């Protein structure tokens, strides 16, 4: 009977030891899983950070592109304004030339009228001489 009791005690002790080992293994597995979960969370955070940074970079690139467009538009507008100024200058020059031509024509006309008046005066003088 004592022998059987010792065997039962020994068997219970072995079972407690095995259960202790299993509990230690479960604890190690929980710790490993917790560590892996922490690593996955850390990687997710890093990935979200990378994505946010990429999005910021894309936004900066879009802003640079918009700035280039605005600069190009301003440059085109300056060019168009320059062309308009050149056209206004040409128009002023043409108008000045036409004005000069009108003045020249007026002077010629006055000269012709004076010439005609002198001719009439000479004609009258000849008439008086004949009389």
Report yes or no on 90 lying in a domain.
yes
Establish if 114 belongs to a structural domain: no
117, part of any domain:
no
Hey, how many other C-beta atoms are within 10 angstroms of the C-beta on 22? Answer: 10
3-state secondary structure of 101: helix
pLDDT in tens, 61-98: 999 999 999 999 999 999 999 999 999 999 999 999 99
Return the closest-CA partner of residue 54 out of 33, 24, 115, 62. 62
Cα(70)–Cα(66) distance, rounded to whole angstroms? 6
Dihedral sign, CA of 68, 71, 76, 77? positive
Please give the chain's pLDDT, 131 residues, in tens: 999 999 999 999 999 999 999 999 999 999 999 999 999 999 999 999 999 999 999 999 999 999 999 999 999 999 999 999 999 999 999 999 999 999 999 999 999 999 999 999 999 999 999 88
Residue 81 inside a domain? The answer is yes
Q: Is residue 130 part of a domain?
A: no
CA distance 20 to 27: 10
Q: Specify if 85 maps to a domain.
A: yes
Tell me the residue range of the domain where 20 lies: 1-105
- What domain count does the chain have? 1
Tell me if 118 is assigned to some domain. no
In a domain? residue 43: yes
CA distance 98 to 101: 5
């Amino acid at each position: 009977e004592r022998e059987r009791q010792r065997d039962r005690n020994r068997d219970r002790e072995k079972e407690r030891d095995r259960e202790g080992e299993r509990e230690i293994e479960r604890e190690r597995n929980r710790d490993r899983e917790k560590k892996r979960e922490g690593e996955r969370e850390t990687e997710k955070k890093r990935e979200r950070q990378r994505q946010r940074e990429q999005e910021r970079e894309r936004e900066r690139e879009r802003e640079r592109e918009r700035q280039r467009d605005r600069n190009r538009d301003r440059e085109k507008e300056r060019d168009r304004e320059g062309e308009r100024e050149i056209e206004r200058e040409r128009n002023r020059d043409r108008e000045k030339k036409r004005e000069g031509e009108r003045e020249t024509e007026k002077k010629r006309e006055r000269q012709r009228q004076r010439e005609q008046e002198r001719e009439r005066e000479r004609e009258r003088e000849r008439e008086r001489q004949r009389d």
